[in-house]
Structure 1
Amino acid sequence: MTSPMRSRAGKGSNGPEPLDPKQPILDVAPLNSFPYIGPPSSLSNPTISTMEPNNEGGAQPSGPAVIYVPPHATQEELDNLAAATKCGVTLTGSAALATIGPVVGRVELSENENTYRFRVLLPGVSRDEKDFSCEVRPDGKILIKGITTIGEKTVIKHSHVFKMLTQNFPPPGHFSIEFQLPGPVENQLLGGSFVDGILEGIVKKRFPA
C-alpha cells in the first residue's frame, strides 16, 4: 500500500516523489535547528516557493553565529571582535565556561527616543561592591566585572558535604562581560538594579551638540 505521505508517482521515476498537495502540513517545533545558508532548493511542488532576500546592493544579514578564539587571545583581539559589531558581546573568564543551564552574560538591549536599556543575566554573581563593577563609557561600551560564587565541585551546607554530580553552572572565579550599545551615551547610569540574578541599567543617549 502506498504511504499517504508520498504522491502516486509512476513506475520508473528516478526523481524525488512530489509531496501530496492534499496532505495537511503539520506545524511541529523542531528539537534543534539551524538556519539554512546555501543555494535555494529546487522543489518541484508549485505550492512551495523559495523566498528571495530583498537586497538592493546592501550587505545581507547573516544568521546566528559563534566565533571561537584561542584560549590565550590578547585583550586587543577581544576588543577588535567586540568593536566589529554594534550589538556583539564578549565573555571572558568563568562566564565563558558555562555549558547548559543559566548562562552568565546573556544580554538584552532596548531603546526609546532618549535612552538605552540593557539587561544582563548574572546568576550566582556576587553583588558585593568590592567584587562587582559596571562601567559605562561615552562611546556606548558597557564593561561588567565580577566574581561568580556558584559552580563549585563541593558544597558545604548545614554541616553536610555534597559532591556535585552535574556541573551546569560556570565555575567560581573572576569574569568580565563587554558589549556595545548602538550609539554614544552619557557616561553614567540614569537608573539600574541588580535583583534575582539580573542586572538592569538605563543610560541616556548622547546627541551631537
Structure 2
Amino acid sequence: MQGYADHPKLKRSVFITGTAKESRAGPAIGLLDIGVSDSAYLFRVVLSGVRKDQSNLKCEIQRDGRVKVQGVVTDGEVVRETSNVYQMNVQQLCRPGPFTISFNLPGPVDPRLFAPKFRADGVLEGVVMKHKKPSVAVNGRC
C-alpha cells in the first residue's frame, strides 16, 4: 500500500481561510492527515482552540471526495477549577473568528456513509466509505 504523500490520486491541496489562515503562533489549526484502506478513507484535522459546544462546527463531504470543515474559534473561554474561575485570554491559539478548511480525499466517496467524531484533544476525525461502482449483471445474475 502506498503512503498518503505517494498516493497517485491525491490532489495535494488544502485551503484554509479566516482566522485559521491568519494564525502564526501556537498550535496550528488545519493540519491534516489522511489514511487510505481498501474500503474507506480516514482523515484527521487539527482544530486547536475550537470548542465543540460553541464552534458551530460543520463538516460537509461531496461525492467527489471534497471535504469542507467550517466553524468559529471563540474568545473569552471561562475555566472553572475547584473554587477558582479563570477568564482565558487567547494568545497562543488561533485568533477568534470564523474559519473554513477544504481538502480533497484521494477518490470518490459515499457521503451517506460518513462517521465524524470531534475528539477531546481538538482533532476532528472522520471515516467515509469509498464509492463503490455498481455491479454489472451477467445473464441476469450479479
Identify whether the pair has TM-score above 0.5, normalized to the shorter chain.
yes
- Paired amino acid for 1:88: S
Q: Quick check: 1:114 aligned with 2:70?
A: no
The number of equivalent residue pairs is 121
The whole-number CA distance in structure 1 between the counterparts of 2:108 and 2:61 is: 10
Q: Quick check: 1:179 aligned with 2:139?
A: no
- Paired amino acid for 1:173: G
Query: 1:198 — aligned with what?
Result: 123
The whole-number CA distance in structure 1 between the counterparts of 2:34 and 2:85 is: 43
Once the two structures are superposed, residues 148-168 of structure 1 have per-residue CA deviations (whole angstroms, 9 ceiling, x without a partner) of 125x6xx7765677767xx33
Query: 1:75 — aligned with what?
Result: none
Alpha carbons of 1:161 and 1:193: their partners in 2 closer, same or farther (altered >3 Å)? Answer: closer
The whole-number CA distance in structure 2 between the counterparts of 1:182 and 1:103 is: 23
Runs of 4+ in 1 over 6 A off after TM superposition: 159-164
Query: 1:80 — aligned with what?
Result: none
Higher gyration radius (CA) = 1
In the TM superposition, residue 190 of structure 1 has moved relative to its aligned partner by 3.6
Query: 1:70 — aligned with what?
Result: none
Unaligned runs of 5+ in 1: 1-84
Query: 2:12 — aligned with what?
Result: 87
Q: Quick check: 1:146 aligned with 2:47?
A: no
Alpha carbons 2:54, 2:74 under 8 Å: kept: no
The whole-number CA distance in structure 1 between the counterparts of 2:128 and 2:86 is: 45
Alpha carbons of 1:203 and 1:129: their partners in 2 closer, same or farther (altered >3 Å)? Answer: farther
Query: 1:24 — aligned with what?
Result: none
Aligned ranges for residues 31-110 of structure 1 at < 5 Å? 86-110=11-35
Larger RCO (CA within 8 A; separation ≥ 6): 2
The whole-number CA distance in structure 2 between the counterparts of 1:144 and 1:170 is: 16
Once the two structures are superposed, residues 155-190 of structure 1 have per-residue CA deviations (whole angstroms, 9 ceiling, x without a partner) of 7765677767xx332210110100000101001344
Alpha carbons of 1:186 and 1:129: their partners in 2 closer, same or farther (altered >3 Å)? Answer: farther
- TM value normalised by structure 2: 0.73
- TM value normalised by structure 1: 0.51
Unaligned runs of 5+ in 2: 1-9, 135-142
